[in-house]
Amino acid sequence: MDFHSYKTIQFQREGRVLRVLLNNGPMNVIDHCLHGELSRVFEDIQHDEDSDLVILTGANRAFCAGGDADWMQAMIDDPSIFRAIATDAKRIVFSLLELEKPMICKINGPAAGLGATIALMSDLIIADEDTFIGDPHVKMGFVAGDGGAVIWPQLVGFAKAKELLLTGDMLSTKEAVGLGLINYALPAVELENKVQELAARIMANPRWAVRWTKTVTNMALRDLAQRLMDPSVAYEMMSNLTSDHQEAVNAFREKRKPEFTGE
């Protein structure tokens, strides 16, 4: 597979391990370009004949810090931009859950919003113990429609998932381990060794046994995503039109506390 067309994602080959690095500025924020590339990258990885395992991480200070404020403003100014990416939003989730190859997510910095969703839909998640993960969609006046409502309840149960999704609070990765949300939270200097250890243990097993075990395990999540993603994206598109979403974007850009009106 030729990955040279990607602008915001980098690829490195380590034998039959493919390292995938999000690389879109220091915080790896999701803008139009990265969102579009995320909608096709997992399908391309599936069809890459030279890899059997994927390590997903961030190239910079964050794993993925969520949506870009300028892109959010563009979608407020022209809602047709949001409408145009609805299919891509669903494809990101579906292609993640349909990827047969095992994927280890190395959270090297904050993972927020869609960044957290992508991490949590990986197979094993190893994080820097000094960073955070969460889905703060509601703090931006947005519905958690890009997969958060699918994956969080499955990992931590509905009560805790609703607490976290409705408050938009971020968790320390140590807290996330305690909740069963991620596998390991380790000092930064130990992350890569743990990733390599787990990769080696998985790669020591027969390829098709590993791939198809993952496939069967993901079937329930795939069924759930098929039911939830259409209404999730639709509700998120509706929240894009609210005054409170505009206020959240304004406050974020102006580095002040938002003043919501409920509209």
pLDDT digits (tens, 9 = 90+) for 36-54: 999 999 999 999 999 999 9
d(CA 178, CA 181): 8
Please tell me the least confidently modeled range out of 1-5, 12-16, 154-158: 1-5
The residue type found at 206 is P
Give backbone dihedrals phi and psi of 117, rounded to 5 degrees, phi first.
-60, -45
pLDDT score of 222:
98
Inform me whether the pLDDT recorded for 127 exceeds 90.
Answer: yes
d(CA 170, CA 32): 24
Inform me whether the pLDDT recorded for 88 exceeds 90.
Answer: yes
Superfamily of structural domain 9-191+200-208: 2-enoyl-CoA Hydratase; Chain A, domain 1 (3.90.226.10)
Inform me whether the pLDDT recorded for 245 exceeds 90.
Answer: yes
Inform me whether the pLDDT recorded for 149 exceeds 90.
Answer: yes
- Per-residue pLDDT, averaged over 179-185, amounts to 98
Is there a contact between 112 and 60 (Cβ–Cβ < 8 Å)?
no
d(CA 110, CA 65): 6
Mean pLDDT of the residues in the chain: 97
Quick one: pLDDT band at residue 256, thresholds 50, 70, 90? Answer: very high
Tokens of 151: 């994956």
pLDDT 10s digits, 183-215 = 999 999 999 999 999 999 999 999 999 999 999
pLDDT score of 1:
87
Task: For the full predicted model, state whether its pTM sits above 0.85.
Answer: yes
Quick one: pLDDT band at residue 3, thresholds 50, 70, 90? Answer: very high
- Per-residue pLDDT, averaged over 62-76, amounts to 97
Quick one: pLDDT band at residue 246, thresholds 50, 70, 90? Answer: very high
Inform me whether the pLDDT recorded for 113 exceeds 90.
Answer: yes
pLDDT score of 26:
95
What residue segments make up the domains of the chain, in order of their start?
A: 9-191+200-208
Instruction: Measure CA 42 to chain center.
Output: 12
